Amino acid sequence: MEISSDVLRAAAADPASPAWQAVWEQSCHQGTCDPASAVLLPWLATTIRAFVDAQRETPLALAGFIAVDATDADRARYAGEIEALHELAVDRLPRASDDSAFVYLLQSILGFEGDEIWGKELDHLNDGEVDVHCPECDEEILLDLTDDSEIMLGLSSELAERLHAEAVRAGREAVAAGLTRLFGRLVCPECGASFDVAENLAGASYP
């Protein structure tokens, strides 16, 4: 992976520059980032720090994706930069420009913390739906995370409780409600098996 210095200068000079699209496209593809893109972490930390308010949100989302796909060696090499980016995301989270940005910031925070599942999968909340497969009969089920009465609401892990608390604290009621569905339970309409939605999603995404 190699991004020209001209593209990086243009992106650093203007958070709305089309150069950011080039940075995204050359770093990540279909939800996975080239591990070599970890070399951008120092540049991202410096660049994002120079931006203000909502200008930081999209670049932080990119940085989170890059950090979570970095090798262990690169995470150690760029530990200082990852911690700086983590602090910037935590600082911006309570003032996120909208619910979608809030979810992406939460996801980036998890990415900086090294969560290889929810550092990538949390943005299903922004999609409003998620596909799961029954662990017993393999029935594919499309769930509506905005209003699915079939889901038994819950918070199935300490992480779920933490994320829910962050959403409540920030006044993000829709995000908090979505989390109770994403981390709730479902009874398969085909065979009657009961399973955790989030654990099933994690297993399906990371066999």
Q: What is the pLDDT of residue 204?
A: 59
Question: What does the pLDDT look like over 10-59, one tens digit per residue?
Answer: 999 999 999 999 999 999 987 799 999 999 999 999 999 999 999 999 99
pLDDT one-digit tens code per residue, 133-183: 999 999 999 999 998 788 999 998 999 999 999 999 999 999 999 999 999
Q: Are 185 and 143 in contact (CB under 8 A)?
A: no
Residues 50 and 12: beta-carbon distance below 8 Å = yes
* Tokens (6 digits) for 174: 């829709």
List the strands of the sheet with 194-196, edge to edge: 151-152, 185-187, 194-196
Residue with the bigger pLDDT between 139 and 205: it is: 139
Q: Please, which pLDDT band fits residue 1 given cuts at 50, 70 and 90? A: low
Element (H, E) at 195: strand 194-196
Mark residue 178 as left, alpha or beta (left: phi above 0; alpha: psi -120 to 50; beta: remaining): alpha
Structure token pair of residue 124: 């299903």
Q: Which has the closest alpha carbon to 130: 146, 119, 115, 118? A: 146
Confidence of residue 2 (pLDDT cuts 50, 70, 90): confident
Q: Each residue of 176-201: pLDDT tens digit?
A: 999 999 999 999 999 999 999 999 98
pLDDT in tens, 96-118: 999 999 999 999 999 999 999 99
In the chain, alpha helices (H):
5-13, 19-27, 41-50, 57-69, 72-77, 79-92, 99-112, 118-121, 124-127, 158-169, 173-182, 197-205
Q: Which residues contact 180 (CB under 8 A, 6 or more apart)?
A: 153, 154, 155, 164
As beta bridge partners, residue 155 has none
